[in-house]
Chains A and B, each alone.
Chain A
């Protein structure tokens, strides 16, 4: 396939490029003539939703993005946060939803590749990865195939690259049947004085192409990712890129080696819309023009046209502006790693983006309007409808033990071991907490005591019922998961996955979720430093559940004072920290209702941010002072599931005393927020525990003693005792048997 450059522009062609008639008119007004075919391709790449954030920008600007530790907020390849001692953590989360649905192995793998590149482009060596995956209903025809392909693809890329996967999420819901979500997170360590940015500086400097050769893969990928899916989805397979983690690993080592030589002025990886996006961003940010000579671009296929070269999304490529006198040093580094190195252009002072090909100028466009001054929309939106409260006394009954056993073996709660054992979770030798706990934790290499915690969270069913509370909850749960290890939450990245923003009710979800996220981030001092927006997640007009995934990073000053979820020993006091007087009250949108009674009604639990803050700060103090022997936050399935997870993680049982005047279903399965289970090895009648309670009271936190660890059964009050071994069997059993084709 060769796409010629002299195609006549028709309204159909404009529409095929995802540009609306008014956007096309804007192009004509801007350049005073019809664009060439290559120019049309460049505009479609730069002005699509994926690259321009045109629907979301207005609202993203409202998010808190600064703080005393923030070195770089959104707008660069990744966010940068100070972790002390001259070191920074560089991180971001990004979606690869559409490609992963079309071709799960390559789509998910290149999603990993893209996010890793975003991190090492900034001079950071990747040290941790996570991925948040959302699939269709377990019983849907395609789900097993997609789970298997996505997990293998992430593993295939990340394992070969050599970064430990420390956490993530896997969820199933029919609303993702035709549009799965693959959100990949990566974090890297760098020295604060050696961060690299994409802003080009200096006129007449060489623009250098590095890495793999350019092929025809992924041509038009970003435009595809900004459209809804129809029934012609299979035809879009050629827009998916093919990953080569071996080249990426060499590119990492070569880039870090090159950066150490002092040759790099600016660097940008070629991700979505490849050469176009990277060149325009470097120029536009630096208020410089860029001139590219496509005859110099290393290609792996013959007779590629400028259109194809400019829109190729071939992976493992970088663009840099280098100090001219260090070009030879730079070339030697890349030759050592057997990677392509070619000077393909030059920076100019005229703010034009010029592309030459075989002696002809195939594009000449204003660079600022293409890049940082791309169109922005204030799309109409409607207020989401608030779901009705559950009727008073509407508490469907089930035997507590039966309910817990069913939930532990449900697709929502069951162990994700089948998934994470396909990821290398311990490479680099720094993994302190591997997947399966509240957050993944690594130690900071080269530092005696410092650790970093990572968690990725969102509860899409809450967001669907109430995007504002759901947005708050995603942030709060992430902050809570980091806190539950003893870490101080530092900052977060957001990956906003929504449907078609041209529909006012979807836009309303986005607007309200961002409002909730912003308020929570502000209240919890947890700024958003990077992110990605993925819209048009719809198939044949039906949107996904609104899914604003939050990936957070926390700092542990001393990983010796770190909590894990497993009970630490028998005869320890179990405290329910942050509980309301009745322990649990809220069943709306709970998995108890959804997965045991098929009900999706009621509002999601309310998030009281002041309560979150004081409870979390109190829990962190208990962990850091060494008093807490184990800690686990309460989320899906409430108190019952959290206790069972702590028991399963340790093999130690517990006996819980019922609260006399509260329905056990609400106590054990209510999903009230801002609660943690903390165990302490203190005499229940002793002074130390009394002092702890006095501190709690002073902090405004209720921390009742609800039971004691020990034995081999989990006993929830009057309910039938459940053997920890039986809970474990249920918990471990679902995923492997589902993938073997048994359960659904």
Chain B
């Protein structure tokens, strides 16, 4: 499977994401600069974490209006898989590829710690490396991860298997509604999540619970 990582100015977990994709698949992903005219022909597009445009205006708002995001929307509509982590999740929401909003953490503080995640829907290309109901460890590091959507949207997400991960065992770090940590779009080819599975893929990280997300994704049709 071929993948590409999009880099906007101010992102800073691009190197972590590139390292994770490379280590799990054995091949480095293509790196796409935000001003590039087009995306290479890939099966997976990843928008990593960081502080695109300094989080000025609103997290992800400026990046979401970058021309490269039109290309991402086109590919997503054709079924290409799109993964957004942390600031990437915020960008996908701002770009209209995922519903809802990510508000400031309830503590009003940046939080970097390990949390527990429940895999809510394991029947997707992104989560097939896990078992439904499995509880995994995963770090978070964000200031604006408090997921919110109106009741109707939440009901739809819950009813349509669009909740991918939920903070488990009382570890919700940001006050997000229904403990939501990550969601799919309607057709489950777009995933956005606040936690950083790319930072928990090997012994040096103190565990590899995040690895199955990448191996599940990249293993197929490789």
Give A contacts to B, CB under 8 Å.
152, 155-156, 159-162, 244-247, 249-250, 336-338, 420-430, 432, 443, 559
Contact = CB atoms under 8 A, between A and B. Distances in A.
Contacts of B16: 427-429
Contacts of A427: 12-13, 16, 141, 199
A161 B204 CA distance: 23
Interface in B8-22: 9-10, 12-13, 15-16, 19-20
A249 B10 contact: yes
Contacts of A429: 15-16, 19-20, 198-199, 204-205
Given A426-B141, A429-B199, A155 B50 contact: no
Nearest to B196: A426
A246 B110 contact: no
A162 B50 contact: yes
A568 to B, nearest CB: 14
B111 A422 contact: yes
Contacts of A338: 9
A125 to B, nearest CB: 9
B147 interface: no
B56 A424 contact: no
Given A159-B51, A161-B12, A162-B50, 14 more contacts: A152-B110, A155-B110, A159-B112, A160-B10, A160-B50, A160-B51, A244-B54, A250-B9, A421-B113, A423-B112, A426-B139, A426-B141, A427-B16, A432-B204
B15 A428 contact: yes
A246 B9 contact: yes
B111 A421 contact: yes
A424 B112 contact: yes
A432 B206 CA distance: 8
B201 to A, nearest CB: 8
A113 to B, nearest CB: 13
B15 A430 contact: no
Contacts of B55: 160, 246
B53 interface: yes
Contacts of A336: 35
Contacts of A426: 112, 139, 141, 196, 199, 205
A732 to B, nearest CB: 13
A507 to B, nearest CB: 41
B156 interface: no
B12 A249 contact: yes
Contacts, number: 78
A527 B199 CA distance: 34
Counting contact residues on chain B (CB < 8 A from A), the size range is 20 to 34
Contacts of B196: 426
A246 B52 CA distance: 8
The 9 closest A-B pairs by CB, nearest first: A246-B54, A162-B12, A160-B51, A429-B16, A424-B141, A155-B110, A246-B10, A422-B110, A424-B112
A246 B56 contact: yes
Interface string B99-122: 000000000011111000000000
B112 A422 contact: yes
A160 B10 CA distance: 7
Contacts of A155: 110
A430 B204 contact: yes
A246 B53 contact: yes
B146 to A, nearest CB: 16
A332 to B, nearest CB: 13
A594 to B, nearest CB: 31
Nearest to B53: A246
A30 B139 CA distance: 60
B50 to A, nearest CB: 7
B204 A249 contact: no
Contacts of B54: 160, 244-247
B188 to A, nearest CB: 27
Contacts of A250: 9-10
A337 B34 CA distance: 11
Contact of A159 (B15, B141, B205): B141
A337 B9 contact: yes
Contacts of A249: 9-10, 12, 51
Contacts of A559: 204
A425 B141 CA distance: 9
Interface in B80-116: 109-113
A451 to B, nearest CB: 9
B109 A422 contact: yes
B19 A160 contact: no
A690 B111 CA distance: 47
Interface in B102-157: 109-113, 139, 141, 143
A417 to B, nearest CB: 8
Contacts of A425: 112
Contacts of A424: 110, 112, 141
19 contacts: A152-B109, A156-B110, A246-B9, A246-B54, A247-B54, A420-B112, A423-B112, A424-B112, A424-B141, A426-B112, A426-B139, A426-B205, A427-B199, A428-B16, A429-B15, A429-B19, A429-B198, A429-B199, A430-B204
A449 B60 CA distance: 37
Nearest to B139: A426
B69 to A, nearest CB: 18
Contacts of B51: 159-160, 245-246, 249
A160, A161, A420, A432: most-surrounded residue (chain B CB, <10 A): A160
B4 to A, nearest CB: 19
A338 B8 CA distance: 12
A428 B12 CA distance: 8
Contacts of A432: 204
A246 B112 CA distance: 20
A39 B95 CA distance: 53
Nearest to A155: B110
Nearest to B55: A160
Contacts of B20: 429
A424 B199 CA distance: 12
A426 B109 CA distance: 17
A429 B16 CA distance: 6
B68 to A, nearest CB: 15
Interface string B26-50: 0000000001000000000000001
Nearest to A151: B109
Nearest to B205: A429
